[in-house]
Amino acid sequence: MSTIRLTAAQAMVKWLSVQMTEDGERFIEGVWAIFGHGNVAGLGEALQGIGAALPTWRGQNEQTMAHTAIAYAKTMKRRRAMAVTSSIGPGALNMVTAAALAHVNRIPVLLIPGDVFANRAPDPVLQQVEDFDDGTVSANDCFRPVSRYYDRIARPEHILTALPRALRVMTDPANCGPVTLAFCQDVQAEAYDYPEAFFEPRTWYVARPEPDARELAAAVAAIRAAQRPLIVAGGGVIYSGAEAALLNFARSHNIPLVETQAGKGAVDWEEALHFGTLGVTGTDCGNKAAAEADLVIGVGTRYSDFTTGSWSVFAAPGRKMLSINVHGYDAAKRGAMGLVSDARVALEKIGAALGGHRFADPDFASRSAWYATVDGLIAPPAGNDLPSDAQVIGAVQRNIGKGSVVMSAAGSMPGALHTLLRNATGGYHMEYGFSCMGYEIAGAMGVKMARPDADVVCMVGDGSYMMANSELATAVMMALPFTVVLTDNRGFGCINRLQKATGGAPFNNLLKDAYHVNEPDIDFVAHAGSMGAHVVKAGSIAELEAAMRAAKGAKIPTVIVIDSDPMRGTGAGGSWWEVAVPEVSARSEVQAARKNYEAGKVRQPLVN
């Protein structure tokens, strides 16, 4: 057997560089790296040596580098991914939040934190977390509950088994998610005689699981027996590449559809059978269809509480659930009739079995009424009033084309965008599984790297921007242009509204309501400009629209700052959402909110 002598780090990057997709591209497009004493000597030397065969990019923060990698993989429909490496200690733990984000959203990312010395000779090393009762524990054990696959590379030959296991998980449509390979820093530098055959290029195929014949027959029978079915399209539709199959299925059988946050963008909003969204951030027509549906056909959705209105939106007596999902865990939720299958395969097979079976027309009038309502909500404000989030979205709406991608993650914008934005197929990117503040800027960079020809618009509030904004400097450095619309409502406006809706007094959310000696007056124009971005302060909706038009064709990111009204929400749509309200309070507002909460609980079934 022919061998080649390499360090473990050199072997790792050499192997990663030849793992290919079905389209002949590298599965791991490149590596984000912030070097420290846990990875600079080992992985740093290996990455420098391999060069363009596995590119390395430098970010500003380990968490946001990982967010960029996650956004890239999400935009690539999980067909390609990135790796992220850090030093030990704080650098590694900065990535735990990102690992959880990828875990919840089922997105592949390869995390390679440096680890302690396997030989333990210099223990405790700088930044080492010691467990008084377990000598095998390091800080990287924090990744275990938020990784789909976790391994510690404590011998150089460990990568011979760990790396194929990692890629198997990352390309598995059911178990896809983050992989953590904690890499002991002395092992990174150790040499080993690796089999040359280990480094032969390998193509990884994403499987399309076929449905069980009995489950398929039961699903077809359930649809035939329904009178008012509704399709709930989740992220699995997009990851399966089932957008066209979904549209064909809905049209062939005249079934209305709604989209979850992860599924939004599966179908163009102009499709007549597209009734928008459902649940807490649902459209009026979408929630009406959900309330009347006697069969809910979930396709690739995990049914989060926002989607289901904490399980209050599916209100028809005797309604049934059919859940098409690639993972049995999701397919069986809430007592649903499960069909474990790839979404595209399932829709094609069910459609073929249904033949020409069609249902009566849905309530198209409610759909028309909803969009007439939205026209009023997104129209520019009269006079000098501060614009609402809806009116800012209207300005964006009027200045994007079919090839644009609008993205966000947390705060006010996700709900408003989900409810109001009229996007084309593929034109929406939302991280709302974990709703992680600070994802937006880094995420926009990842989206742009995946879709360099698209106009990418990042919508972020001032609170989320303050959480994590430093990758804006990276985007400038890498010449990755996208447009950031930064709404300044002077605090956490979304949670302030929720606080008031649950009877609470305004407290600790808006800056003026938080403890302060000097109320902050943050100059976001100066801040973003200091990182090299082109920055505009828009004094009105008209100025925002002009700035968006001017940003097209830019070579670096453009940040447009506009003051917005923190008190106004979406203005329409939505459903009940379970947020526990205190049973006992001196505030009459809380007492009233508790009564509303208890009324909502009555509509919420404990079981299906």
Cα–Cα distance, 541 to 538 (Å, whole number): 7
> What's the pLDDT at 365?
98
Is residue 78 pLDDT above 70, yes or no? yes
Q: Are residue 29 and residue 144 in the same domain, yes or no? A: yes
Residues 6+ apart with CB under 8 A from 139: 88, 89, 92, 93, 127, 128, 129
Q: Are residue 33 and residue 124 in the same domain, yes or no? A: yes
pLDDT tens-digit series, residues 335-371: 899 999 999 999 999 999 999 999 999 999 999 999 9
Q: Which residues of 161-185 are buried (b: 16+ CB within 10 A; e: fewer)?
A: ebbeebbebbbbbbebbbbbbbbbb
| 113 belongs to a structural domain | yes
**DSSP 8-state symbol, 438:** T
Q: Are residue 441 and residue 548 in the same domain, yes or no? A: yes
Q: Are residue 523 and residue 478 in the same domain, yes or no? A: yes
| 605 belongs to a structural domain | no
181, 203, 225: which is the final residue of a domain? Answer: 203
Section 158-184 average pLDDT = 98
Cα–Cα distance, 224 to 158 (Å, whole number): 53
**Residue 607 pLDDT level (bands cut at 50, 70, 90):** low
Is residue 605 pLDDT above 90, yes or no? no
Is residue 385 pLDDT above 90, yes or no? no
**DSSP 8-state symbol, 18:** T
Q: Are residue 270 and residue 165 in the same domain, yes or no? A: no
> SS3 of 178, please?
strand
User: Which residues, listed in sequence order, are joined to residue 562 by a DSSP beta bridge?
Assistant: 487, 538
Q: Are residue 166 and residue 314 in the same domain, yes or no? A: no
Q: Are residue 148 and residue 287 in the same domain, yes or no? A: no
- The two most distant CA atoms of the chain are separated, in Å, by 79
CATH number reported for the structural domain that contains residue 75 in this entry? 3.40.50.970
| 571 belongs to a structural domain | no
> What's the pLDDT at 34?
98
Is residue 575 pLDDT above 70, yes or no? yes
Average pLDDT, the chain: 96
Is residue 505 pLDDT above 90, yes or no? yes
Is residue 395 pLDDT above 90, yes or no? yes
**Residue 382 pLDDT level (bands cut at 50, 70, 90):** confident
Cα–Cα distance, 97 to 6 (Å, whole number): 33
63 with 97: CB under 8 angstroms? yes
Residue, of 520 and 250, whose pLDDT is higher: 250
| 580 belongs to a structural domain | no
> What's the pLDDT at 566?
87
**Residue 608 pLDDT level (bands cut at 50, 70, 90):** low
448 with 291: CB under 8 angstroms? no
Cα–Cα distance, 423 to 444 (Å, whole number): 17
The answer, yes or no, to whether the previous bond of 124 is cis (omega within 30 of 0) is yes
**DSSP 8-state symbol, 265:** T
Q: Are residue 135 and residue 39 in the same domain, yes or no? A: yes
Domain of 473 in residue numbering reads as: 378-563
Lowest mean pLDDT among 255-264, 434-443, 511-520, 583-592: 511-520
Q: Which DSSP string corresponds to 450-486?
A: H-TTSEEEEEEEHHHHHHS-THHHHHHHTT---EEEE
Q: How many domains does the chain have?
A: 3
Closest CA to 563 of 530, 523, 508: 523
**Residue 384 pLDDT level (bands cut at 50, 70, 90):** confident
284 with 369: CB under 8 angstroms? yes
- Cα(first)–Cα(last) distance of the chain, in Å? 59
Cα–Cα distance, 578 to 598 (Å, whole number): 10
| 475 belongs to a structural domain | yes
